[in-house]
Structure 1
Amino acid sequence: MAPPSSRRSGFSKKQQYSVFTGYLLATLGALAGLGLLAISLWQPATFQPLRGAATDAVSPVGEATGTVRGESQGILASIAGYWRAGSKNAELRREVELARIRLAEAQAVETENRRLKALLGLASETTKPVASARLVGSSATSARRFAYIGVGKNDGVEIGMPVHSERGVIGRVLETSRFSSRVLLLTDSESVLPVRRAKDQTVAFAEGRGDGMLRIRLINLGLNPLEVGDVFVTSGAGGYYRPGVAVAVLSEKTADGGIARLIAEPAATNFVVVEPVYEPLAVQASEVRARDELSDAELED
C-alpha cells in the first residue's frame, strides 16, 4: 500500500485547521507587506523613526565589529612591516647612496661652473684672449714640465704667448701645431719669470726647479725681506706676461730668496686662456739681443 501524500491533511480536523491557519497567516502577511511597501513608497518618512531605532540598536555592534576589523588590520600591517623591514632598509640605503652620488655630481657641476665663470671673468677683465681651451695633460714626473692644450695655429696661437687659468699664470706657449700647442710650465727647470712681491715692489726671478716648486731669487742681494706666505705676481718685465697676475706663494725662506708653491697648479686646472704677448716689441728686441750675443760668442770662439 502506497504511503499517503504529505501535502494532504487527511481526515484530522486539527491538522486541517492548522493548514488553513498557515495559509491565512501567509496571506495576511503578504497583504501587510504589500501595504507597508505601498506606504513606504507613498510616504517614505513614515518609517523613519523605525529605521532610526533599528540603526541605533545595531550601531554598537557595528562599532565593535569595525574596531576589531581595524585592530586586526593594524596587527597584520605591523607583522607585514616587520617582515619587510629588511628589504625596506636595504632600499632606503640604496636611495641614500644614490642621493649622495647625485649630490657629489651636483657639487662637481657647481665647482665647474664657478671655474668657468672665473675664467670668463678673467677674460673680460683683461686683454682679449686669443683662445680658450681645455688643458689636455701635463708632465709631472720628469725635470722638464710641459702641458698640452687643444688650440694651435688655426686658432691664432703663436709661440711665446702666455697661458693663464682662473687662478694665475700656467706658463707660455713653447711649440704650436695646427690644432694643439705645447706649453712650457713655470715649474720647468728652464723656465725663468720676472716677478715682484704683491704688497710692494720687491723684485725677483721665479725659476722652475723641475719638482713642481719655484725658486724665488732676489735681484738685490743682502737682507732677505721675504716672509712665508708672501704672494708673488708677474712684474711685466721681459714683455711676455702682463703685470699683476698671480704666480706663487712663498712656502720656505732661504738666504737669497725662498721656495714658492705655484698658485695655478696645472694638475688642478681644467680650462685655460691664451693671451697675446704683453709687449711684442720688447720681446722682439730681447730676441734680437740674444741672437747678437750668441753671434758674438761664436765669433770669439
Structure 2
Amino acid sequence: MAPPSSRRSSFSKKQQYSVFTGYLLATLGALAGLGLLALSLWQPSTFQPLRGGATDIAAPVGEASATVRSGGSSTWDTITGYWRAGSQNAQLRDEVEVARIQLAEAKAVEAENRRLKALLGLATQQADAIATTRLVGSSSSSARRFAYIGVGQSDGVQIGMPVHSERGVIGRVLETSRGSSRVLLLTDTESVLPVRRAADQTVAFAEGRGDGLLRIRLINLGLNPLEVGDVFVTSGAGGYYRPGVAVAVLSELTPDGGIAQLIAEPSATNFVVVEPIYEPAAVEAAGVRASEELSDEELAN
C-alpha cells in the first residue's frame, strides 16, 4: 500500500507569491491611505476639486430623492387636511356662534348703557311723600293689573295719588280703605299716561296692554322718530304725575310708536312712595268736564 501524500498547499510557489502580493498591496494601500490622510490634514484644499466633482455627481440623485420626499409630504398633507376639514369646519362654526353671542351681549350692554345715561339725566327733584309703604302684592294672571299697598285713608292717601318706586312710576291709587289701598298699575288695559321722550319733547301716550308691557302711541303721526332704547318719562299733562319721572324703555318699534318695558317692574319692587297729586286743580277740572260730557250723553239718550 502506497503511503499518503504529505505535500501541502503551502509548499506551492504560486500560492506563496499570491499571499505575498496580497500583503504587499495591503501594506501599500495602508501607506497610501495614511499619506492621503496626512495630506488632507496638512493641505485641506488639495482635495477640493475631487469633493466638488463628487458633489456634482451626487447632486442629481439628491435632488431626485428630495423631490420624491417633498411630493410624498405634500400628498400626505393634502390627505390629512381633507380628513381634518370636517372637524375644522365644525370648530370654526362654533367660534362664529360664540362670536355672534358675544356681539349680541355687547349690543345689550350698549343699550343698557344708553338707558342708564338717559336715567342719569332725568329730573331728580322729589315731592313731599304722603306715605312710604311696602307693596303687598300685585295681580299677574288676569287681564286687569292691580297692586295693593299697606296704607290708606288713615295715612292721608287719596284716590288718584301717584305711586312710585325708587326706579320710576308704578301706577296711581284707584281705591282706598282705612288701612290699605288698591293701585291701578300702568300696565292695566284701562291705564293711559301722557309721556315724553327723555331726550327731547316728543310726546306720546303710554297705554297698558295687560301683559306687563306698554304701548307707546305718538300724538303726532307721520314718520316715526323713535328708536329702540329710548327712555320715556312723565310729561306732567293730566295733572296726576309730576313731570320727569321714569316710565319705560322702548323695546320694539311700531308704525305709530312702539312697545316699551316698564322701568319700575312691580314684581321686582318691595317699597313704594305715595306722592300727592301734582296739579289737583287740573285733575278736578278734568273730572268736571268728564261729568258734564257724561250728563250731556245721558240727556241725549
TM, length-normalised to structure 1: 0.59
The percentage of counterpart residues that share the same residue type is 82
Q: How far apart are residue 125 of structure 1 and its match?
A: 3.9
Please give the residue correspondences for 1:153-232 in structure 2 after superposition, counting only pairs within 5 Å: 153-232=153-232
Quick one: distance in 1 between partners of 2:195 and 2:213? 15
Q: Which residue of 2 aligns with 1:135?
A: 135
Q: How far apart are residue 127 of structure 1 and its match?
A: 1.2
Q: Which amino acid aligns with 1:257?
A: G
Q: How far apart are residue 141 of structure 1 and its match?
A: 1.2
Q: Unaligned regions of 5+ residues in structure 2, if any?
A: 1-123
Quick one: distance in 2 between partners of 1:125 and 1:229? 24
Quick one: distance in 1 between partners of 2:177 and 2:125? 28
Quick one: distance in 1 between partners of 2:277 and 2:135? 20
Q: Deviations over 1:135-184 (max 9, x none)?
A: 00000111100000000000000000000000000000000000000000
Quick one: distance in 1 between partners of 2:191 and 2:125? 27
Q: How far apart are residue 272 of structure 1 and its match?
A: 0.2
SS of the counterpart of 1:136?
strand
Quick one: distance in 2 between partners of 1:138 and 1:238? 25
Quick one: distance in 2 between partners of 1:258 and 1:139? 24
Q: How far apart are residue 195 of structure 1 and its match?
A: 0.1
TM, length-normalised to structure 2: 0.59
Q: Which residue of 2 aligns with 1:273?
A: 273
Q: Which residue of 2 aligns with 1:75?
A: none
Quick one: distance in 2 between partners of 1:144 and 1:267? 15
Question: Are residue 152 (structure 1) and residue 152 (structure 2) matched?
Answer: yes
* CA RMSD, 1 decimal: 1.2
Quick one: distance in 2 between partners of 1:285 and 1:218? 25
Q: Which residue of 1 aligns with 2:238?
A: 238
Quick one: distance in 2 between partners of 1:228 and 1:206? 15
SS of the counterpart of 1:267?
helix
SS of the counterpart of 1:282?
helix
Q: Which residue of 2 aligns with 1:297?
A: 297
Q: Unaligned regions of 5+ residues in structure 1, if any?
A: 1-123
Q: Which residue of 2 aligns with 1:84?
A: none
Please give the residue correspondences for 1:55-70 in structure 2 after superposition, counting only pairs within 5 Å: none
Q: Deviations over 1:41-60 (max 9, x none)?
A: xxxxxxxxxxxxxxxxxxxx
Q: Matched residue pairs, number?
A: 179
Quick one: distance in 2 between partners of 1:157 and 1:288? 22
